[in-house]
């Protein structure tokens, strides 16, 4: 016979649930008891103080009240600290007030949307997360090479690679957890070439039956400062039409063709629908950032989804393009900064951006020589041409140029956030 489940049952369950806080090992009971003792001291001291006529006894009662308040505050503080340690293990050793202050300040940060993919997008995210947790990374799903391509083909899922990089970049989890997600199996392994993070997202997709849900569940594991959203949930393929008329299909194959690109487009582009969360984030954004990253294979594919481009153009947010510091072989050979912008606007809309951030940091001759061996060169900042196109320029030293040339996450984040102070 089925037990009748009424309101009384619900209340009894709730009561039993409260007692779970007193289970051994949670580390709460002692602080609850200490807080209760502090309350008793305050109550006892207050009652005695009211009834007592002798001043010296009143002083003792006051001391009892003050002691009770101190004990109560200590008990509450330690109790909250136990909660924090359970929920945010990575905060161990950090003052409670610092943890709470950081979380509160980050939650009050500006709403920023980044659009792109690859390592370029993950770099900028790692800098922005130090100033705000209101970050949305809109990531391309056109990748079909390497581990992502293999998993995409084998399991019929969207490519997880660029998504994984952005998740790790925004992670508030321990460095060990981040390293775990970026761990790549060596050639001797059955999982040769695969990263653990890619496999994890794939498994989550199979378990949940939904790629988007898999990303959200993975975000919880990594305790993200923000959110990562695929630009579309459609299985898209990127196609390049070269200036000689030939066509290359596949994001991974396009740079390898080493042919000047006339335009890129999505196969069955009209069937590509933007993720609703991406559109919502764009509408609420204060700053929208395009790049840095591969122009034709990371940034532009997102803008080929018409809803995304239209939403960015319609947005009142500050729109910024972060230009690459170096040209990319097979994609932007010989491109100046204005060429990057021209390609960007031709594939989307002239009002897709307001500002362009250009690097002025010095790159050593040895580094430039090393890059020249791979047909990669420093992007020329033809500022007058960009200004004649109607865009404003911000020039700044925003790179780290040691072994490889990369944008400095914190430098770039500071430059981007300065727009809110000036505008």
Comparing 159-163, 182-186, 315-319, 330-334, the range with the smallest average pLDDT is: 182-186
The pLDDT tens digits of the residues spanning 140-174 come to 999 998 999 999 999 999 999 999 999 999 998 76
* Paired strand residues for 232: 274
User: Per-residue pLDDT for 80 more than 90?
Assistant: no
Degrees to nearest 5, angle at CA 70 with 69 and 71: 90
The pLDDT tens digits of the residues spanning 14-47 come to 445 555 555 555 566 777 788 888 888 888 888 8
The CA distance from 232 to 308, in Å, is: 10
Query: What token pair was written down for 384?
Result: 């007058």
Q: Please tell me the predicted confidence (pLDDT) of residue 65.
A: 84
User: Per-residue pLDDT for 330 more than 50?
Assistant: yes
Q: Please tell me the predicted confidence (pLDDT) of residue 270.
A: 64
The pLDDT tens digits of the residues spanning 99-131 come to 565 677 888 899 999 999 988 999 999 999 999
Q: Please tell me the predicted confidence (pLDDT) of residue 42.
A: 86
Comparing 179-193, 337-351, 352-366, the range with the smallest average pLDDT is: 179-193
Q: Please tell me the predicted confidence (pLDDT) of residue 3.
A: 47
Q: Please tell me the predicted confidence (pLDDT) of residue 214.
A: 95
The pLDDT tens digits of the residues spanning 314-324 come to 999 999 999 99
User: Per-residue pLDDT for 57 more than 80?
Assistant: no
- Of the pLDDT bands very low, low, confident and very high (cuts 50, 70, 90), residue 232 is very high
- Of the pLDDT bands very low, low, confident and very high (cuts 50, 70, 90), residue 1 is very low
Mean pLDDT, residues 58-66:
83
Mean pLDDT, residues 61-78:
84
The pLDDT tens digits of the residues spanning 265-274 come to 998 756 689 9
């Amino acid at each position: 016979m089925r037990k009748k489940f009424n309101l009384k049952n619900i209340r009894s369950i709730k009561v039993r649930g409260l007692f779970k806080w007193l289970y051994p090992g949670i580390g709460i009971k002692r602080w609850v008891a200490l807080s209760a003792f502090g309350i008793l001291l305050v109550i006892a001291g207050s009652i005695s103080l009211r009834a007592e006529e002798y001043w010296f006894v009143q002083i003792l009662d006051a001391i009892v009240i003050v002691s009770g308040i101190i004990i109560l505050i200590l008990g509450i503080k330690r109790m909250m600290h136990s909660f924090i340690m359970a929920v945010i293990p990575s905060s161990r050793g950090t003052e409670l007030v610092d943890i709470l202050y950081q979380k509160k300040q980050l939650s009050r940060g500006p709403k920023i949307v980044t659009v792109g993919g690859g390592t370029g997008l993950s770099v900028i995210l790692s800098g922005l997360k130090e100033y705000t947790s209101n970050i949305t990374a809109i990531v391309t799903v056109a990748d079909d090479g390497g581990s992502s391509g293999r998993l995409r083909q084998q399991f019929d899922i969207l490519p997880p690679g660029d998504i994984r990089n952005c998740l790790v970049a925004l992670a508030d989890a321990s460095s060990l957890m981040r390293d775990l997600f970026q761990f790549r199996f060596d050639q001797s392994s059955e999982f040769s070439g695969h990263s653990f993070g890619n496999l994890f997202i794939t498994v989550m997709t199979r378990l949940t039956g939904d790629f988007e849900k898999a990303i959200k569940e993975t975000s919880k594991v990594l305790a993200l400062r923000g959110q990562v959203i695929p630009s579309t949930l459609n299985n898209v393929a990127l196609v390049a039409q070269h200036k000689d008329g030939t066509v290359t299909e596949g994001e991974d194959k396009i740079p390898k063709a080493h042919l000047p690109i006339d335009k890129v487009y999505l196969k069955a582009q009209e069937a590509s629908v933007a993720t609703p969360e991406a559109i919502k984030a764009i509408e609420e954004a204060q700053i929208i950032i395009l790049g840095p990253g591969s122009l034709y294979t990371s940034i532009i594919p997102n803008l080929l989804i018409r809803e995304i481009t239209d939403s960015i153009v319609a947005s009142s947010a500050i729109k910024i393009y972060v230009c690459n510091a170096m040209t990319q072989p097979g994609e932007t050979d010989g491109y100046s900064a204005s060429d990057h912008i021209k390609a960007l606007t031709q594939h989307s809309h002239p009002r897709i951006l307001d500002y362009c951030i250009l690097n002025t940091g010095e790159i050593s001759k040895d580094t430039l020589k090393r890059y020249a061996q791979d047909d990669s060169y420093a992007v020329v900042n033809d500022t007058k041409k960009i200004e004649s196109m109607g865009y404003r320029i911000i020039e700044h030293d925003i790179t780290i140029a040691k072994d490889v040339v990369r944008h400095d996450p914190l430098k770039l984040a500071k430059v981007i956030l300065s727009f809110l102070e000036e505008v």
